[in-house]
C-alpha cells in the first residue's frame, strides 16, 4: 500500500508567525483542509497548525506551505518525509 507523503523542501522560521513555515511537495493526492501527519522515519505525530494560501510561486511549483508548531522543529528539515494519516 502506497502512503500519501509530503517531502519537506524548505523551512522558514519567521518570528512574527505562529509557527514554522514548511514548504514541500505532496507525493500523491493533496489532502483537503489541515492534514494529520506523522514523520515517516520516527512515526511521531506532527502538530500542523494550518495550511497557507497558495502563492504565485507555490502554484507554479506545485508546492504547499504548511504551518508547523515550533516544538516539532527537529522533524522539519529539507528532505524529510511526512506521511498523511488516513482516517479509518
The DSSP code sequence of 3-47 is: PPEEEEEEEE--TTSSSEEEEEEEESPPPSSS--EEETTT-PEE-
Read off the pLDDT of each residue in 25-49 and give the average, rounded to a whole number: 91
First to last CA, the chain: 15
pLDDT tens digits for range 44-66: 999 999 999 999 999 999 999 99
- What percentage of the chain reaches a pLDDT higher than 70? 95
**Structural domains of the chain, count:** 1
- Give, as one character, the DSSP assignment of residue 73: G
Residues spanned by the domain of 37: 5-84
Segment 32-41 shows an average pLDDT of 90
Amino acid at each position: 500500500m502506497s502512503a500519501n507523503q509530503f517531502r519537506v523542501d524548505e523551512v522558514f522560521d519567521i518570528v512574527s508567525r505562529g509557527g514554522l513555515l514548511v514548504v514541500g511537495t505532496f507525493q500523491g493526492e493533496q489532502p483537503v483542509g489541515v492534514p494529520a501527519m506523522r514523520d515517516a522515519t520516527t512515526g511521531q505525530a506532527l502538530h500542523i497548525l494550518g495550511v497557507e494560501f497558495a502563492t504565485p510561486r507555490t502554484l507554479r511549483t506545485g508546492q504547499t506551505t504548511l504551518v508547523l508548531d515550533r516544538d516539532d522543529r527537529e522533524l522539519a528539515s529539507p528532505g524529510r518525509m511526512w506521511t498523511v494519516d488516513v482516517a479509518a
